[in-house]
Homo-oligomer: A and B are copies of this chain.
């Protein structure tokens, strides 16, 4: 039933350019920019603290990490968990939605690899 419903919605969305564009832009927005994918990759290995993510991504500045984490949280990709120990302890965790992205990323990886081959054949 849920599955059927989802398929119908999918077909509906494909028929309706507005919903179509909205849904695709939602997906693009959580992936684009220089740091979102590295941050999600870091969190894909488990719950992490601010400085741990920073150490995983050596070139990111705290400003960017803070900004991106806020945006990811706002978009339901990351949960921010604050423990009021002293000093304050903050942990970041991927949401289920974020984990579901792996299907999209796999399809992107698949296309990217195939496209690279096509390009190489035509150029070299």
Contact = CB atoms under 8 A, between A and B. Distances in A.
Contact of A27 (B6, B9, B14, B112): B112
Copies of this protein chain in the complex:
2
Q: What is the predominant secondary structure among interface residues of chain A facing chain B? A: helix
For chain A, which range describes its interface: under 10, 10 to 19, 20 to 34, or 35 or more residues?
35 or more
Given A31-B28, A32-B32, A23 B112 contact: yes
A111 B115 contact: no
Interface in A70-124: 76, 96-97, 100-101, 103-105, 107-116, 118-119, 122
A45 to B, nearest CB: 12
B22 A112 contact: yes
Contacts of A97: 114-115, 118-119
